[in-house]
A and B are shown apart, each in its own frame.
Chain A
């Protein structure tokens, strides 16, 4: 009998996730992907962990059209994408942040032109807590005080105890999970939440987004961040706001309107010579990703799809 409440919470959490994704609708202006002839070969993708599942799903969907195409995907973190693109070990560089000037410099030094960024999906970078955590939502200044030692958002005190935010959890330590520095999510969170401040040394650096979510789910006092696509029933994505009185849910609509503070594009970087088309295989893959089919996959994986205007073709058929 003691199991009932747990089961209820589980069902509620599932219901919530379903609700969140049910609201997402595909832009009808997105083009349908049509198969072309003569596409085969190998495609390597090295980069973002946030995009890892998505890349795998796209690769599967793409392979349905072209059985002769072999796609290999490695997702250790966005920072591994530029070196691989530069060395030529990959043709696709998925990244959950934009390339830094230093990385662009290194690319340009080798090829003489800049790499091309292609938007592939929208992500609401989410702050997760354990599903039984009573906190309603967090202001970014509070999040900053939990994760950062520099507290650039100006919250008055350091937060290491949940009691500062939810009085009934007085004495419960905040256990902070984050990503390793190779991660674009690490960088994006640092730039936008910490205002480029520094992480505390006590943030447990996990090698992947799922490890972060798992860590948070296994610990009552846990908190961590990752792409919204990694949400599980053991954790809850918090509404966020600039301060605790202006909370916004991480929904598609809020992301599009720029209300959710941690909305971002996910990119795939490619090596495109100016005034020349991409190699056929890469070109077709990108066309698939930005098509109706490709963006359906995005919804399936828990991220948000692009609007037609955001794609390379800008919605023109």
Chain B
């Protein structure tokens, strides 16, 4: 017998090499996965961080204008060429370098400008003179890019009209003008008397328009006292008059004159000093921003009052107090931000969530302010005619914690609410970016999906693993696993075009089936166990369902047919109209029930197959021991197998939950994507993931909506992260508990 090879226990070098390589390879792979997940997290985080940045405002220079008081102060949309209007009727355009250019209004010798109103959107300055004349000047700007990348902005002012209004020879102390596509409205204040004139504009698609004067009237008698200041809105519908005692009256212009729209109210009625230091519209002209002489800052918006069933101004917001009443006010023409300045404090605020974007001190009294059209420059005019330039970097003024998660009182709404409506077609649209309805929608969809999927998948798995004949199990399990490979877009398509209309027609039938089927199964089980043994033994163990099949089919048919009579009996003949009346909640065709069914369909195979594996992996000895000790199959399954496999069952549920939270296509297609917040099963929802899918193509790269969608992605990430972590902790705990078996 030859000696045994002394090296027979030595592992081959190549094996050792492969082993060592694999050790490192797997380590590196594992670390890379962790790094990749972390990198995704960091990437999303970097995308959303700018949302929570404050505005950045920096002084970048100054330019010198005339020392005389300015009546109107504005700038072109690029923020290059600010202008002032002095009482002698001269516009001074002040470039950053070089000579100022001027433009003179055609005034008579002694005539001066006594009031002016600059409409930045229309770029029209309306002025009232000491002689009681009203002139309008349109200021157009052209922009020629220079070689070096800077802009050469020139102003083209042009007097566009003179309105005969009021009495000749008496100075106009306040003027305001509003122009919409269909109407124009002009109001002036002359020695305590208020005059207004309205015009209609009819436009054809050929581009021609015809202006007709409707009326010109004095309506001082409608006001409680002589006003100090007038405001006309851009829709040419309302005139807001403010008097010395802080009373605000809103008048409405109609075809034949003016009537009171809202009787006098005092925005600062609760303060000792009820006067109003500043008043102006917010962009869009449906909200009024007030400051009190003591610095309180309030916003009043037009909304439908519950008691009056009519639109009225009411206080919607209170912002942080300034040190004193504002001496300068200007609103942006791009968003709902506005700038307030008193003698030394300057504050840039955003109305939607009542946030202060930036606040700073200056060492000169601010007389006028303006924000460039593109919301990238601020200009402050001091009492000596110096214009101070500021750069403004505020890319996401409408965002912030309060805007995403807080209840916000939006313009036009009658109470603070959570709302998602991200984009509108007009500039003065107020984006509503609350993520709360989306989170609620995600949870709602997940809840209904799990409500449907969990019992079916769990019980199905227990049955397949513990009771079904092994020969059948071989076919059942792969079949259900094939279900998981159905693309969710197909499921969504089916849900939207087939299931939703079907369920809508047959709600009582569906409900009857949902109740009837499980009930019939339990009843049949009870009936079966009470049968004498010789009957039961005719069917081999594991094939009992064959006896139940006809019962199940019968129950299905009966419940389905029962739907009609049930509907007539219980739901007044039509469930669709009965439900809203009985519960006050909506009934939609594409509702949570449909989504629950279909998403359940997507989740069931995942839960089923993992649970089934976990149950099958329970050692055979345990099962045999339990049966040998006289426990029934049911007792063995419920008391021995299921608890031992509980760690696996839990992971299965959590993985299913994670899938339901992130599921997108089914929800996009099978719901109306309405961002409503309720638990009504017959209403739709909008989930975070569906929201990203629906809105990403319309979100400009780097914009607020774009980043808000990333914030939604982050929330999804965190939700699944938390769910999985909890699941893992519980799984470890359970594993520890059943380690001994």
Chain B residues, CB < 8 A from A229: none
Contacts of B235 in A (CB 8 A): 195
B:571-592 near A, CB below 8 Å? 576-577, 580, 586-590
Could you mark each residue 663-689 of chain B with 1 if its beta carbon is under 8 Å from any beta carbon of chain A, else 0?
000000000111110000000100000
Residue in contact with A173 in the complex, picked from B203, B284, B427, B576, CB distance below 8 Å = B576
Whether A76 is near chain B, meaning CB under 8 Å from some CB there, is yes
Distance, CA A263 to CA B203, complexed state (A): 11
B204 CB within 8 Å of chain A: yes
Is A173 a contact partner of B673 (Cβ separation < 8 A)?
A: no
Asked if B698 contacts A201 (CB within 8 A), the reply is no
A136 at the interface (CB under 8 A from B): no
Chain B CB within 8 A of A309 CB = yes
Chain B neighbourhood of A190, CB < 8 A: 424-426
A298 to B128, CA, bound (A): 49
* Contact A202/B424 with A83-B699, A150-B412, A310-B206 known, Cβ cut-off 8 Å: no
B87 within 8 A of partner (CB): no
User: B303-311, B532-540, B654-662: which lies at the A interface?
Assistant: B303-311
Other-chain residue from B284, B309, B412 in contact with A198 (beta carbon distance below 8 A): B412
Docked-complex contact A79 and B701, CB < 8 angstroms: no
Judging by beta carbons under 8 Å apart, are B694 and A196 in contact? no
Within 8 A of B (CB), among A136-157: 149-152, 154, 156-157
Q: Per-residue CB proximity of A151-165 to B under 8 Å, as 1/0?
A: 110101100000000
Cα A304 to Cα B374 in complex, Å, equals: 36
Once A83-B700, A105-B334, A173-B577 are accepted as A-B contacts, the answer to whether A180 and B673 lie under 8 Å apart by CB is: yes
Q: Which of A83, A86, A198 contacts B421 (CB 8 A)?
A: A198
CA distance A180 to B413 in the complex (A): 21
Q: Indicate if A301 sits at the interface (CB-CB under 8 A).
A: no
Given contacts A103-B700, A199-B421, contact A181 B695 (CB under 8 A): yes
**Chain A residue with Cβ nearest B426:** A191
The answer to the question of A197 belonging to the interface, with a C-beta cut-off of 8 Å to chain B, is: yes
Classify the secondary structure of B's interface with A: loop
> Which residues in window 160-207 of A have CB below 8 A to B?
171-173, 175, 180-182, 184, 186-188, 190-191, 195-199, 201-207
At the interface, yes or no: A265 with Cβ under 8 Å from chain B?
Answer: yes
Instruction: Let me know if A196 and B203 touch, CB within 8 A.
Output: no
For the complex formed, measure the closest distance between the CB of A272 and the CB atoms of chain B, giving whole angstroms. 15
CA distance A309 to B532 in the complex (A): 93
A83 x B589 contact (CB < 8 A): no
Specify which of A106, A180, A204 is in contact with B694 (CB 8 Å cutoff): A180
B2 part of interface (Cβ distance < 8 Å): no
Asked if A196 meets B429 with Cβ closer than 8 Å, knowing A103-B700, A152-B412, A190-B424, the reply is yes
Judged by a CB distance under 8 angstroms, whether A64 is at the interface is no
Is the beta-carbon distance between A100 and B145 smaller than 8 angstroms?
Answer: no
User: Does B422 reach chain A (CB closer than 8 Å)?
Assistant: yes
* Residues of B167-207 contacting chain A, CB below 8 A: 202-207
Q: Complex: how many Å from CA A255 to CA B235?
A: 22
Select one of B205, B410, B501, B673 contacting A122, CB under 8 A: B205
The answer on a CB contact under 8 Å between A198 and B701 is no
* Neighbouring B residues of A309 by C-beta, 8 Å: 206-207
Q: Which of B205, B207, B577, B700 has the most CB of A within 10 A?
A: B205
Q: What is the CA–CA distance of A196 and B181 in the complex, to the nearest angstrom?
A: 14
Contacts of B413 in A (CB 8 A): 149-150, 198
Cα distance, A190 to B430, chains bound together (Å): 13
CB within 8 A of B426: which of A86, A187, A203, A257? Answer: A187
Instruction: Answer yes or no: A307 CB below 8 A from chain B CBs.
Output: yes
Segment 378-398 of B: residues with Cβ below 8 Å from A: none
Whole-angstrom CA separation of A309 from B205 in the bound complex:
10
B406-457 CB contacts (< 8 Å) to partner A: 410, 412-413, 419, 421-429, 432
Chain A: minimal CB distance from B476 (Å): 38
Check if A191 sits within 8 Å of B576, measured CB to CB: no
Q: A197-B412, A201-B675, A202-B586 are in contact. Are A97 and B577 (CB under 8 A)?
A: no
Nearest-neighbour CB distance to chain A for B70, whole angstroms, equals 26
Contact B425–A150 (Cβ < 8 Å) = no
Any chain B CB within 8 A of the CB of A219? yes
CB <8 Å contact, B422 and A181: yes
Task: List residues of chain B with CB within 8 A of the CB of A198.
Answer: 410, 412-413, 421, 432
- Is B550 positioned at the interface, with any CB of A under 8 Å from its CB? no
CB nearest neighbor in B for A148: B412
CB distance from B393 to the nearest CB of A (A): 13
Q: How many angstroms from the CA of A101 to the CA of B120 in the assembled complex?
A: 13
Residue on B nearest A202 in the bound complex, by CB:
B586
**Contact assessment for B673 and A187 in the assembled complex, using a CB-CB cutoff below 8 Å:** no
Q: Does A87 contact B (CB under 8 A)?
A: yes
Q: Tell whether A218 is near chain B: CB-to-CB under 8 Å.
A: yes
**Is the C-beta of A234 less than 8 angstroms from some C-beta in chain B?**
no
Does A94 interact with chain B (Cβ within 8 Å)?
no
For residue A238, CB closer than 8 A to chain B, the reply is no
Residues of B within 8 A of A180 (CB): 673, 694
B373 within 8 A of A: yes
> B374–A105 contact, CB under 8 A?
yes
Verify if B6 is at the interface (C-beta below 8 Å from A).
no
A102 adjacent to chain B (CB < 8 Å): yes
A258 interface contact, C-beta 8 A: yes
Give the residue of B202, B206, B423 whose beta carbon is less than 8 angstroms from that of A256.
B206
B272 within 8 A of A: no
Report Cα–Cα, A310/B577, bound state, in Å. Answer: 49
Is residue A82 within 8 Å, beta carbon to beta carbon, of the partner chain? yes
Say whether, besides A112-B145, A218-B501, A256-B204, A102 and B334 are in contact (CB < 8 Å).
yes
Q: Which of B279-336 contact A (CB under 8 A)?
A: 284, 286, 303-304, 309-311, 333-334
The chain B residue sitting closest to A211, CB to CB, is B496
Contact of B577 among A83, A101, A172 (CB under 8 A): A172
A241 lies within 8 A of chain B by Cβ: no
A77 within 8 A of B: yes
Instruction: With both chains docked as a complex, state the minimum distance between the C-beta of A232 and any C-beta of chain B, in angstroms.
Output: 17
Report B378 CB to chain A, min CB distance, Å: 17
- Residue A80 lies at the interface, judged by CB distance under 8 Å to chain B: yes
Residues of B within 8 A of A186 (CB): 425
Give which listed residue, B203, B410, B427, B699, contacts A100 with CB less than 8 A: B427
Provided the pairs A152-B412, A186-B425, A258-B202 are in contact, do residues A76 and B700 lie with their beta carbons within 8 angstroms? no
Contacting residues of chain A (67-96) with chain B, CB-CB under 8 angstroms = 76-80, 82-83, 86-87
Given A173-B580, A181-B424, A188-B425: A205 and B673 interface contact (C-beta under 8 Å): yes
Interface residue? B630 (CB, 8 A): no
Contact B674 A203 (CB under 8 A): yes
Question: Of B145, B284, B419, B424, which is within 8 A of A187 by CB?
Answer: B424
The reply to whether A106 and B700 contact each other, CB–CB distance below 8 Å, is yes
On chain A, the residues within 8 Å of B672 by CB distance are 204-206
Contact indicator A181/B421 (Cβ below 8 Å): yes
Q: Quick one: CB contact mask for A19-58 with B, threshold 8 Å, 1 for yes?
A: 0000000000000000000000000000000000000000
Report B552-578 residues with CB < 8 Å from chain A CB: 576-577
Cα–Cα, bound, A24→B672 (Å):
36
A-B contact pairs, 15 of them (CB 8 A): A79-B698, A100-B427, A105-B334, A122-B205, A150-B412, A187-B424, A196-B286, A199-B421, A201-B674, A202-B674, A205-B672, A206-B672, A258-B202, A307-B205, A310-B206
User: Top 9 A-B pairs ranked by shortest CB distance?
Assistant: A187-B425, A204-B672, A79-B698, A182-B698, A150-B412, A258-B204, A201-B676, A80-B697, A181-B423
Which residues from chain B sit less than 8 Å from chain A, CB to CB? 145, 202-207, 235, 284, 286, 303-304, 309-311, 333-334, 373-374, 410, 412-413, 419, 421-429, 432, 501, 576-577, 580, 586-590, 672-676, 684, 694-695, 697-701, 703
Extra contacts, 12 of them, besides A97-B425, A100-B426, A150-B413 (Cβ < 8 A), are A76-B698, A78-B425, A101-B427, A151-B311, A180-B694, A187-B423, A201-B674, A202-B586, A203-B674, A257-B205, A258-B202, A258-B203
Residues of A bordering B, CB below 8 Å: 76-80, 82-83, 86-87, 97, 100-103, 105-106, 112-113, 122, 149-152, 154, 156-157, 171-173, 175, 180-182, 184, 186-188, 190-191, 195-199, 201-207, 218-219, 255-258, 263, 265, 307, 309-310
